[in-house]
Amino acid sequence: AQSVSQHNHHVILSEAASLELGCNYSYGGTVNLFWYVQYPGQHLQLLLKYFSGDPLVKGIKGFEAEFIKSKFSFNLRKPSVQWSDTAEYFCAVNERRDDKIIFGKGTRLHILP
């Protein structure tokens, strides 16, 4: 069965620091990859996704992620975080053959003002 690993459970950064959240998945077949974000008190929402093409994906709010197939990784990055980026971030994977999305455990990001 496929699985998704997020390396950091809780990250604390100061504003303007650079961010990288790790994500690895175990499935060897063709997959779609996602990062979701949940701001305090809000719904889970899509940050960015990779289906095919350029492995460097740009998302909303200045986030980007790079798909490295050889490493089964899809790390999330942002050059300079803001206080408003405080949220929980979930990496997720979907096998192309069905609609199920499998999530990582999430990383709680706390940005100090």
Partner 1 sequence: GAVVSQHPSRVICKSGTSVKIECRSLDFQATTMFWYRQFPKQSLMLMATSNEGSKATYEQGVEKDKFLINHASLTLSTLTVTSAHPEDSSFYICSAGGVTEAFFGQGTRLTVV
Question: Which residues of the shown chain bind partner 1 in the complex (CB under 8 A)?
Answer: 4, 9, 32, 36, 42-46, 49, 51, 90, 94, 99-106
Shortest spacing between CB 46 and partner 1, in angstroms: 6
* 35 φ, ψ (degrees, to nearest 5): -125, 130
Beta bridge partners of 46: 36
State both tokens at 98.
């069905």
User: Nearer Cβ to partner 1, position 61 or 80?
Assistant: 61
User: Nearer Cβ to partner 1, position 81 or 92?
Assistant: 92
Shortest spacing between CB 4 and partner 1, in angstroms: 7
Residues with Cβ within 8 Å of 3's Cβ and at least 6 positions away in sequence, in order, are 25, 26, 27, 102
